[in-house]
Amino acid sequence: MTAYFTELAGKTVIVTGGSKGIGKDIALTFAKLGANVVISGRDQTRLEETLGELQKFNCNCIAVEGDLSDIQQVKRLINESASIFGTIDVLVNNAGVNIAKPAMEVTEEDWDTVLDLNLKSVFFASQAAAKYMLQQKNGRIINIASQMAFVGYIKRAAYCSSKGGLVQLTKALAVEWAKEGVRVNAVAPTFIETELTAKMFEDAEFKKDVENRILLDGLSQPRDISGAVLYLASDLANFVTGETIKVDGGWTAI
């Protein structure tokens, strides 16, 4: 019987926003397979807690604290990871933010906060990682986009814009780096049931609207996203680049 994903053991995998939510589940998925996982985030306490969980599976995992809306900190994350492990094999651009406001109330600061983290930081993290990946003629960049890249929704003008741009960025980088062996793809989740969305779902009307738009039963779980990321990072996806996999329970199928 074929043992899938064994090729990921010993690989260097960076997961931005890896201390909680989807990012934490993605990081744990790779650590359980023996990958050297680097997680980043702004909350040092949460980073240390998650790192402790990762190191139960691989003691080589590390955490790097930093605000990725600061491009110098983005570059520090990538370069420090490469310095420690000697290579970067997989970059998962997961860190993101949403400021849910009606379009008429969005300020310039709100817009910049969302676009700087969701799009600008992803480009410069990818650029920094690609410096190493292009030299080794191999690498995977996986961006966590959103179904909101394909559909509109209330109070998400900046968020939809950032994720739509991220899907196009994924294609552009895939086209440019394909011949050098660097594959660039994305995963587009729907609303995920995590501690981060729990507060949103306290609004019964909002939760009902979300559930009515998802064709499958229930809400998506972090492991649903981790599975798609794992596929794109593995040899099973060797001939896939420039693609965005929607993990939305059928939301965008209608």
What residue segments make up the domains of the chain, in order of their start? 7-193+221-247
Q: What is the mean pLDDT of residues 55-68?
A: 98
Q: Which pLDDT value is given to residue 193? A: 84
Alpha helices by DSSP H, 178-233: 204-213, 222-233
Mean pLDDT of 220-240: 97
Q: Which of 97-101, 144-148, 200-204, 237-241 has the lowest mean pLDDT?
A: 200-204
Residue 159 is a catalytic residue: yes
The pTM of this model reads 0.97
Question: Is the per-residue pLDDT at 137 higher than 70?
Answer: yes
What is the pLDDT confidence band of residue 46, given thresholds at 50, 70 and 90? very high
Half-sphere exposure of 48 (CA within 13 A, CB side): 3
E-state strands within 17-116: 36-41, 62-65, 90-93
Catalytic residue from among 4, 153, 159, 231: 159
Q: How confident is the model at residue 199 (pLDDT cuts 50, 70, 90)?
A: confident
Closest CA to 13 of 75, 94, 71, 70: 94
pLDDT of 200 = 86
Q: Are 71 and 119 in contact (CB under 8 A)?
A: no
Instruction: Give the confidence band of 86 by pLDDT, cuts at 50, 70, 90.
Output: very high
How high is the pLDDT of residue 131? 98
pLDDT at residue 71, rounded to an integer: 98
Query: Stretch 186-210: mean pLDDT, rounded?
Result: 90
Query: Which candidate, 229, 254, 235, 163, places its Cα nearest to that of 23?
Result: 229
What architecture (CATH level 2) is domain 7-193+221-247? 3-Layer(aba) Sandwich (3.40)
Where do the DSSP E strands lie in the chain? 12-15, 36-41, 62-65, 90-93, 139-144, 182-189, 244-247
- CB count within 10 Å of CB 148 equals 23
